[in-house]
Amino acid sequence: MRKYHAEKMNKESAYPYQPWQISENEFLVENNHHNEAIFSLGNGYMGLRGTLEEDYAGSAETTTPGFYINGVYASEEIIYGEEAPSLPRRGQTMINLADWSEINLYINEEKFNMLQGHLTDYIRKLDLKKGVITRSLIWEDRQGRKVKIKIERLISFTRENIAAINYSVQPLNFSGKISIQSAVNGDVSNFYHLRNKKNAQVLQGKVEGKNGILLQKVKSTGFEIGFAVEHILKKMGGAEWKLESRESSNRIDWIFNLNAIEGEEYSISKIVAVNYAERNGEKPLEKARAELAKAAIIGYDGLSSEQTKFMQGYWEDVDIEIKGDPALQQAFRFNSFHILQSTGRNGRTSVAAKGLTGEYYEGHYFWDTETYILPFYIFQRPEVAKNLLLYRYYTLDKAKINARRMRLDGALYPWRTINGNEASGFFMGSTVQYHIDADIAYAIYLYYQVTGDQDFIDNYGLEIFVETARMWASRGSYIEKRNNKFCFNVVCGPDEYKPGVNNNAFTNYMAKFNLEIAAKMAREVKNRSGDKYAKMAERVNLDEDEVANWKQLAEDVYLPFDEELNIIPQDDSFLYKDPIHVDSIPVNELPLVKNWHPLIIWRYQVIKQADVILLMLLLGAKFSQKLKKANYDFYEPKTTHDSSLSPAIYSIIANEIGYAEQSFNYFMQTARLDLDDYNENAYQGVHTACMGGTWLALIQGFGGMRVENGNLYFNPTIPKKWDSYKFRIRYKKSQLEVEVNNKEVSYLLLGGEKINFTHRDQTINLSCSKLSKKIKI
Amino acid sequence: MRKYHAEKMNKESAYPYQPWQISENEFLVENNHHNEAIFSLGNGYMGLRGTLEEDYAGSAETTTPGFYINGVYASEEIIYGEEAPSLPRRGQTMINLADWSEINLYINEEKFNMLQGHLTDYIRKLDLKKGVITRSLIWEDRQGRKVKIKIERLISFTRENIAAINYSVQPLNFSGKISIQSAVNGDVSNFYHLRNKKNAQVLQGKVEGKNGILLQKVKSTGFEIGFAVEHILKKMGGAEWKLESRESSNRIDWIFNLNAIEGEEYSISKIVAVNYAERNGEKPLEKARAELAKAAIIGYDGLSSEQTKFMQGYWEDVDIEIKGDPALQQAFRFNSFHILQSTGRNGRTSVAAKGLTGEYYEGHYFWDTETYILPFYIFQRPEVAKNLLLYRYYTLDKAKINARRMRLDGALYPWRTINGNEASGFFMGSTVQYHIDADIAYAIYLYYQVTGDQDFIDNYGLEIFVETARMWASRGSYIEKRNNKFCFNVVCGPDEYKPGVNNNAFTNYMAKFNLEIAAKMAREVKNRSGDKYAKMAERVNLDEDEVANWKQLAEDVYLPFDEELNIIPQDDSFLYKDPIHVDSIPVNELPLVKNWHPLIIWRYQVIKQADVILLMLLLGAKFSQKLKKANYDFYEPKTTHDSSLSPAIYSIIANEIGYAEQSFNYFMQTARLDLDDYNENAYQGVHTACMGGTWLALIQGFGGMRVENGNLYFNPTIPKKWDSYKFRIRYKKSQLEVEVNNKEVSYLLLGGEKINFTHRDQTINLSCSKLSKKIKI
């Protein structure tokens, strides 16, 4: 492990290692910013950062409040340092919307604030089984009045429009006036990226008794967002809430007054429905009202029960048990929970780089989804995987326009986007990464191999194969000096420290794969579903010659290899770049992307993230163990892992070539990246792709799981430190549980049809549900 | 010649081919924009576009008024599409300052406007012998009143702060009221580049009788610009001017009323002094007043006489006679005049890409000065060359800071700048062109070889050699895969269509030259001026080891060569790029830089401008004729000449290898580029470097002049179409005239010391002034 990474990891966790929760027992302003990401809630549709309900009394540098809706963005003209033809003209930035979570408590006139008075018995926890965040504490105000406060909140996984807070307060040593002020605050701004940070305006705000509505509009894009709120008050011990309310131009407010009696517990539930409309004529407020009405019937407790039930089902599919390492056990559940929270599941949205937990990366979707997150779903919740792929299908037309921009045929998917248009203002960090097309094709084919979902291929997948293959066919050229091989010049692989190079190996191999798979699947669908194929072929103007040409091009793709070093050169120029060893770079200059001018980074043999090594994973069957080892040995000392996408992949290949210690170390660099904030930037939001990478590193690394040509393979190992680990996957029509300990592996067919797979060189058939096979390792 | 270029050249000239003037006999709105550049006036200190004195009545698209001072700029933060470390933070934009040329004529109340009423006898001309622009015409207003108007204007070459207009009017068929309104209008804006286009404000404006002052301030940079104006009225035939005047917040105005008598000629001279201050405490208005007072004494006629005298001296040094081609004859004089007008001669300014004739390129200085314009001065007016090189010396400290920005030692000159800081917002079109350092070193060495100016080297030049050599020493690396040669990765040569490549041949050869010359000159100065050397060495911390290291590095520089094609590959990847023939690109997609996304341009074997071919010129002695021919044959079909810096260089090398027709064609593409507006963009301003290139193409191309190791060589040829051409150069302490016709070359020592040079293989000595040598060709 790099010293740099060892140092970063050498810090105490802020959270005790508990199997099913993330908790803190002390409120510290210096942890607040980090906690806002860790205690974020979301359901793929919307997300709320882990801010406190009450007004925050810490400094502005320790908070970035945010409530976001996946797919709702502002847009500004991109200003370039210098113009060039065909650059993207407008950006897209996920916008910070009205904060519906505001609740302030007053004892008499003294406002509850954890940084004043006296705080005891504080505990905040994210309950991973229930999918809620609770905060409980005893607060003594400056007059010595004590209250016990319990707050629970959730964003519903079963009702995408619904969020709720249950707020209860109990005077412990006094009777007297207590007020609760609740609001939906539309006076919010973004903190980063946008030049005009205040991009949403409140069109309408109305208090209707203890209910109310607020309508926001994003000026630059026209999105309208409706909020409907209902407060449900619980009478207790004969006390009554009294209601005052007010409206102002940017917010709606309620004040609930109560003559509280010592020892009684009073509570208020705030149910919020949120809905948005992209087009005029849609009525987001009406929809929100309707959703609210349904949710209010079952109240907070009903919503909470639904949430728990949903989580039970989720954990049945995705839970991984790791015995002997409680830190890791916790991390896996935390990560799986955040992946769930981040994932748009409606076929029109995807997973942003920071999920819905922060503004960084502007809420953009990258190749991260297909390459790092999709396998998590393909093998565990394939119906979600399908919807994520559908997002790419629905934006195919925009990808075609993007290809024309670059004078290419077919479709070129954008490097970063929300709405399907390229939103990057720096083509050397975006458009040049043409491999996005192949990554998407690869993900679709993986989905198909694992699920066998022919309908998806026939109706959607093949068309993406076709248009991406067309892109590659027009992007490459036969180059005489390369023995007339089909080459791809001026591209960039996953390693963003080498943009604009020729014949990036990852790109060439993946392009070849894309061309091959398009040809293969075209034939397959033609044979299987002739009518559908014929219609599609007519619509997209596809003929046999074109399919044949892809096969030929795929055969002719130039596959770089260096005979002298016996490795795959990352690109044509990589071996000729200035030599450097990562350990020679001062730690305070890492990550390089934040410290060195790009032209300096580019001249060195220094790699940001797994590139050839990722290729060794994705198309692993094409490379011998020996070649993998040679490449690992060559590239590992040149890799800074300045991207959180990198260590997981190195861990997997280290595992495969028998580098157990490196494999474990790299694995540990990713699992608790956000929880323990190795990069000191988790406050910006969680690293969703890294979380997916951690899953890959366990299942594909230690589990040794691969899918090749529709066959499933395992080659499990287990780190010395652990007692056992256990995971479940879905494959075709079966669900399989794999448990590995120091002595043996057991495969258990949990349900579904019979399954065949390979354990190392051994073919295993499990033909009946509940049948298991134990094998010594 | 490319069809594209042939088509561009196939247009009638707007101006008759006159040897000493550029004139138009008809005023056409559609020519106005172009004429604003052609009829620009300037003296290197300030420049005025060729706008009319009276308010322009044509459409806004046909005019871009402008008055500029060399070195006076506004500054704005550069906004990037995406941020990266160490990018330049602020731009610099030459600012459009107050228009002092405004003069409107009223006959009774009818305002003179060439687009109304009836215009006859119109002629406008740029008089190249006198250095003035005159306009004369007869105008009949809508009431049938006729006036004869004669306007002459100049910007003084002998008094850098002084400009003047002489405006005369003669009623031809009536007596009555005539009014002349004159102004200095500070209500001006820039038209391009700046986001806040109105960047200069008027601090003070005051009419003082028929005189007045105006003070402008550039908000973003603090420059203050003072204008002082005096009107000199000529009484004639007993008529008297009457004066009204007014002031407003942004401008100062005068109105002169006259009861004119038919047939009498009345005239008014407007003398303007302009001065600027960069720092508080300097008093631009006082200086302007003082300069104005001196100029007013001699009046317009005196200024005009001075101008004529200056021009006589100028033409004695720089005039080139071409017999048998009047178009070319005119072009050469026009170009030499504009080079003069554009050149900052005070050691603190240089030559902007568009001179002082337009806002395009923001008034920035580029390598154009050293590579394309400096030879013109070195061989004709070396004292100006010295001042241009001094500009680089005075900005050396900023170049050092720029080197630190890029983590380099020594000094890295900015790619585009006014004040010495890098002003580019796109590093792939600027900083990546490290060769700027070597270009400057090359120019200094050429200056030294031709002038023998040891003082300049001892006091300034050597320090630039040292700091640029240091840059190269830190910029390169020994690369194992290149036989441990010293390589330069991620650079860009002159061909801007291939940025970010490794081992651009031009860059490597020029870096080697820079390292060699630094070592050589360090030794030479040490021997010659030990004390000076010792002081300099101490100040810049230079020791013998470092000098020795430069020699070693220079020896070790990797010099690319392709054995198979027997050419110098432009860079490591060039021969592997996608093949393309320039003729296959649709004409409407040229220039590519305006039509193709950069990533598309970069993938092809397509060249914007001479790169290896420029190397063949600058370091020509290193390459055989055969190699030059092979390279020309290889690169010529790949070159779009999308830069106006390109054809002249191809012309020179074509000449050298005996491609007479191509040489002539390329030559003709540059000589009248602005006059005949081949690129339809001359309205933006003249192409100063192209003008310098035209001179190079004649003297180095047809004249075959070279300087190598302090020796002067000629190898003249003459195009069939011409009868003869004649030019003069200064060399060491001599002035030599070279005349070439179809039969012979004659060399005449005009003055100064004896001179030795080589004609082809023949050594020629001219030992006495007026001695000449005729040789048959």
Question: Residue B223 and residue B350: Cα distance in Å, rounded?
Answer: 18
Is B163 in a helix, a strand, or coil?
strand
Residue from B431, B482, B489 to probe the interface with A (highest A Cβ count within 10 Å): B489
Rounded alpha-carbon distances, angstroms, from residue A328 to A18, A19, A373, A671, B83 = 10, 9, 19, 7, 36
Residue B235 has pLDDT above 80, yes or no: no
Question: Left, alpha or beta for A636 (phi > 0: left; psi -120 to 50: alpha)?
Answer: alpha
Per-residue burial over A745-777, b if 16 or more Cβ lie within 10 Å, else e, is bebbbbeeeebebebeeeeeebeeeeeeeebee
**R_g of chain A computed on alpha carbons:** 27
- How far A774 CA sits from the closest chain B CA (Å)? 52
Residues in chain A: 777
Cα separation, B192 vs A82, in Å, equals 13
β-strands A224-234, A266-277: how paired?
antiparallel
- Transcribe B222-274 into DSSP letters: --EEEEEEEEEEE-BTTB-EEEEEEE-SSEEEEEEEEEE-TT--EEEEEEEEE
Mind telling me how many Å the CA of B405 is from chain A's nearest CA? 8
Residue A719 has pLDDT above 70, yes or no: yes
- Are the C-beta atoms of B365 and B354 separated by less than 8 Å? no
Query: Roughly how many angstroms between the first and final C-alpha of chain B, as a whole number?
Result: 27
Tell me the H-state helices in B82-161: none
What was the pLDDT predicted at B92?
A: 98
Catalytic residue among A224, A496, A546, A739: A496
Burial of B744 (0-12, 13-18, 19+ CB in 10 A): middle
Rounded distance between C-alpha atoms, residue B468 and residue B480, angstroms:
25
In tens, the pLDDT along A14-24 reads 999 999 999 99
Give pLDDT tens digits for B190-226.
999 999 999 999 999 999 999 999 999 999 999 999 9
Query: Which residue, among A227, A233, A208, A216, has the nearest Cα to A285 in the 3D structure?
Result: A227
Reply yes or no on whether the pLDDT at A1 is more than 80: no
Name which of B87, B424, B597 is nearest A85 (Cβ-Cβ).
B597
User: Residue B237: its pLDDT value, please?
Assistant: 63
* Whether A80 contacts chain B with CB within 8 A: yes
Please compute the mean of the pLDDT values over residues A234-242 and round it to a whole number: 74
Chain A: closest CA distance from residue B522 (Å): 29
**Contact of B640 with B608, CB cutoff 8 Å:** yes
Listed residue (B147, B146, B126, B144) closest to B135, CA to CA: B126
Q: Which residue of chain A is at minimal alpha-carbon distance from B433?
A: A599
Tell the burial category of A615 from Cβ atoms under 10 Å away from its Cβ (0-12, 13-18, 19+): buried
What residue ranges in A18-117 does DSSP mark as E strands? 21-24, 41-42, 46-48, 67-69, 73-74, 93-94, 103-107, 110-111
What mean pLDDT do residues A155-182 have? 97
The neighbouring-strand residues paired with B706 are B713
Residue A32, pLDDT above cutoff 80 = yes
Give the integer Cα–Cα distance in Å for B752 and B770: 10
Can you read off the two tokens belonging to residue A562? 């260096």
pLDDT of residue A10: 77
ipTM of the complex: 0.95
Rounded mean pLDDT, B681-704:
97
Whole-angstrom distance, CA of residue A472 vs CA of residue B47: 52
Label residue A279 by pLDDT band (50, 70, 90).
confident
CB atoms within 10 A of CB B234: 15
Chain A segment 583-612 residues within 8 A of B by beta carbon are 593-600, 602-603
Contacts with B93 (C-beta within 8 Å, 6 or more apart), sequence order = B73, B74, B75, B76, B190, B193, B194, B199, B359, B362, B363
Helix residue ranges, H only, A493-588: 505-528, 530-540, 544-556
Residue of chain A nearest B596, judged by CA positions: A85
Q: How far apart are the first and last CA of chain A?
A: 27
Range B712-723 average pLDDT? 96
Residues 489-508, chain A, touching B (beta carbon < 8 A): 489-490, 500, 502-503
Backbone angles phi, psi at B595, to 5 degrees: -130, -25
Residues of chain A with Cβ-Cβ distance to B572 below 8 Å are 573, 576
d(CA B260, CA B392): 55
pLDDT band at A36 (very low <50, low <70, confident <90, very high): very high
Q: Is B579 on the interface with A (CB under 8 A)?
A: yes
Backbone torsions φ then ψ of B562, nearest 5 degrees = -105, 110
Helical residues (DSSP H) of A462-504, grouped into ranges: 462-475
Asked if omega into A591 is within 30° of 0 (cis), the reply is: yes
Closest partner CB to B572 (pick from A427, A573, A600): A573
In chain B, positions 227-266, which contact chain A (CB-CB < 8 Å)? none
| Cβ <8 Å between B427 and A80 | no
For residue A233, the Cα-to-chain-centroid distance in whole angstroms is 36
Catalytic residue among B160, B496, B546, B656: B496
- Each residue of B433-465: pLDDT tens digit? 999 999 999 999 999 999 999 999 999 999 999
Strands (DSSP E) contained in A235-265 are: 241-247, 251-260
Output the pLDDT for position B272. 98
User: H or E element: which one contains B532?
Assistant: helix B530-540
For tokens 């639904």, what's the residue? Answer: A306
- Predicted pLDDT of residue B642: 95
**Taking CA atoms, what residue in B is nearest to A431?**
B599
Contacts of B581 in chain A (CB under 8 A): none
Mark yes or no for CB contact A477/B594 under 8 Å. no
Closest CA of chain A from B471, distance in Å:
13
Give catalytic status of residue A496 as yes or no. Answer: yes
Partner residue opposite B502 with nearest CB, options A84, A480, A573:
A573
pLDDT tens column, A254-278:
999 999 999 999 999 999 999 999 8
Nearest to A576 among B87, B429, B502 (CB): B502
C-alpha to C-alpha distance for A697 and A719, rounded to whole angstroms: 12
Listed residue (A456, A338, A452) closest to A392, CA to CA: A456
Of B81, B502, B597, the CB nearest to A405: B597
What would the mean pLDDT of A563-592 be, rounded to a whole number?
A: 96
Across the interface, whether the CB atoms of A481 and B576 are under 8 A apart is answered yes
Are the Cβ atoms of A80 and B602 closer than 8 angstroms?
Answer: no
Kindly tell me if the per-residue pLDDT of A452 is higher than 90.
yes
Per-residue pLDDT averaged across B691-702, rounded? 97
Which residues from B are below 8 Å from A573, CB to CB? 489, 502, 572-573
Identify the pLDDT of residue B238. 66
Helix (H) or strand (E) holding B537, with range, is helix B530-540
Chain B, 388 to 427: residues with Cβ < 8 Å from chain A are 405-407, 424-427
Q: What is the average pLDDT score of chain B?
A: 96
Q: How far apart are CA B320 and CA A545, in angstroms?
A: 63
Distance CA B32, CA B9 (A): 20
* Closest residue on chain B to A497 (Cα): B490
User: Are B598 and A427 a contacting pair at CB < 8 A?
Assistant: yes
C-beta atoms surrounding A237 within 10 Å: 11
Select from A675, A725, A682 the least CA-distant residue to A22.
Answer: A675
Cα A184 to its chain centre, rounded Å, is: 27
pLDDT band, very low/low/confident/very high, at A180 (cuts 50, 70, 90): very high
Q: State the nearest Cα–Cα gap between A88 and chain B, in angstroms.
A: 10
Using alpha carbons only, how large is chain B's radius of gyration in Å?
27
Which residues in B lie closer than 8 A to residue A569 (C-beta atoms)?
Answer: none
- pLDDT at res. A237: 63
Separation in Å, CA B706 to CA A586, B711, B715: 49, 8, 9
Strands B711-714 vs B755-759: parallel, antiparallel or unpaired: parallel
- Whether residues A426 and B597 touch (CB distance < 8 A) is answered with no
- Indicate the pTM of the whole model: 0.96
- Record the tokens describing residue B591, joined without a space: 């220039």
Position A397 scores a pLDDT of 98
Q: Do B477 and A578 touch (CB under 8 A)?
A: yes
Kindly tell me if the per-residue pLDDT of A518 is higher than 90: yes
Q: How far apart are CA A496 and CA B84, in angstroms?
A: 13
Report the residue from B80, B576, B599 with minimal CB separation from A502.
B576
Q: If DSSP states are collapsed to H, E and C, what string results for B217-233? A: EECCCCCEEEEEEEEEE
Instruction: Test A599 with B431 for CB contact under 8 angstroms.
Output: yes
Q: Give the position of tokens 């995971």.
A: A727
The pLDDT tens digits for B657-671 are 999 999 999 999 999
Q: What's residue B245's pLDDT? A: 80
List the single best residue of B78, B80, B82 to mutate versus A (max A Cβ within 10 A): B82
Asked if B602's CB is within 8 angstroms of A82's CB, the reply is no
What are phi and psi for residue B601, nearest 5 degrees? Answer: -55, -45
CB contact under 8 A, B597 and A407: yes
Instruction: With cut-offs at 50, 70 and 90, classify the pLDDT of residue A248.
Output: confident
Indicate if the alpha-carbon torsion angle A567, A571, A577, A581 is positive or negative: negative
Size of interface A-B (CB pairs under 8 A): 148
Confidence of residue B236 (pLDDT cuts 50, 70, 90): low
pLDDT tens digits, one per residue of A346-396: 999 999 999 999 999 999 999 999 999 999 999 999 999 999 999 999 999
Contact B81 A78 (CB under 8 A): yes
Mean pLDDT of chain A: 96
Q: Please answer whether residues A570 and A499 qualify as being in contact, where contact means their C-beta atoms are separated by less than 8 angstroms.
A: no
Q: How confident is the model at residue A7 (pLDDT cuts 50, 70, 90)?
A: confident
Q: How much is the pLDDT for A12?
A: 84
pLDDT of residue A281 exceeding 80, the answer is no
User: What token pair was written down for A637?
Assistant: 């000392």
Nearest CA in chain A to B571: A573
Q: Is the Cβ pair A597, B427 closer than 8 Å?
A: yes
Percent of chain B predicted with pLDDT > 70: 99
Q: Give the nearest partner residue to B603 out of A481, A489, A600, using CB atoms.
A: A489
Q: Is B86 left (phi over 0), alpha (psi -120 to 50) or beta?
A: left
With an 8 Å Cβ cutoff, is B562 touching chain A?
Answer: no
Find the CB nearest A84 among B85, B424, B597.
B597
pLDDT number for residue A5: 74
Interchain contact, B500 vs A82, CB within 8 Å: no
Higher pLDDT among residues A7 and B386, named by residue? B386
pLDDT on residue A280: 74
How many other CB atoms are found less than 10 A from the CB of residue A31? Answer: 17
Going by C-beta distance under 8 Å and a sequence separation of 6 or more, which residues neighbour residue B301?
none
Are B221 and B73 spatial neighbours (Cβ–Cβ below 8 Å)? yes
Go through chain B and tell me how many residues it has.
Answer: 777
Query: Min CA distance, B472 vs chain A (Å)?
Result: 14
Residue ranges of B 83-102 with Cβ closer than 8 A to chain A? 84-87
